[in-house]
Amino acid sequence: MTEIRLARPGDEADIVTMIRELADFEHALDQCTVTESQITAALFTENPVGFCYVAEIDSEAAAVALWFRTFSTWDGVAGIYLEDLFVRDKFRRRGLARTLLATLARECVDNGYTRLAWEVLDWNVDAIALYDAVGGKQMSEWINYRVSGPELDLLAAEA
């Protein structure tokens, strides 16, 4: 039986394991330093900074969708940014990723949010096919930027 539910305390080990499996899939495991205590602090506090849906099949953690709220100045309302969507190898091709996306879309609609956004690596053709199939639109006119590590420290020193 498949169940999609919000993550709850006690899920930290499964969530971290799947985050690490995703990092390995993306050839970046050496960059993944997340801990169970960080997941607890991020998801299971009075004011969480993120949220997570867990998909279980026969009570086994099969997939996760980690997300947080965004804000659109143009729309004047919140949206959802999907940080990570991951389905474990042995559970792929069962519709879990699509179901998790639909769950996030329902979260948006139920709360009056106007956007569900995410990124995908350009070589992940299976994910791109799914995102195209659900009506996702590639935002090709936007260029993603990030400041982290030493560059973040240098920029912060200017404040």
Own/partner pairs for 45-50, CB < 8 Å, 24+ apart? 50/83
Is 144 within the bounds of a domain?
no
- Please report, to the nearest 10 degrees, the dihedral formed by the alpha carbons of residues 57, 61, 107, 19 taken in order: -150
Q: 81, 83, 86: which is closest to 108 by C-alpha?
A: 81
Is 63 within the bounds of a domain?
yes
pLDDT at position 27, please? Answer: 97
Is 149 within the bounds of a domain?
no
Structure confidence by residue, pLDDT tens digits, 105-146: 999 999 999 999 999 999 999 999 999 999 999 998 988 899
Is 98 within the bounds of a domain?
yes
Overall domain count for the chain: 1
What is the CATH number for 38? 3.40.630.30
Which letter does DSSP use for residue 145 in this model? Answer: -
pLDDT at position 131, please? Answer: 96
pLDDT at position 32, please? Answer: 98
pLDDT at position 130, please? Answer: 95
Structure confidence by residue, pLDDT tens digits, 47-88: 999 999 999 999 999 999 999 999 999 999 999 999 999 999
Beta partners for 87?
63
Is 74 within the bounds of a domain?
yes
Is 126 within the bounds of a domain?
no
Q: Which domain holds residue 75?
A: 2-120
pTM for the model stands at 0.94
pLDDT at position 16, please? Answer: 98
Q: Please report, for residues 80, 82, 101, the alpha-carbon distance to residue 117 in angstroms, rounded to integers and kept in the order given.
A: 6, 6, 10
Mean pLDDT of 32-39: 98
Kindly state the tokens that stand for 146.
Answer: 């990030």
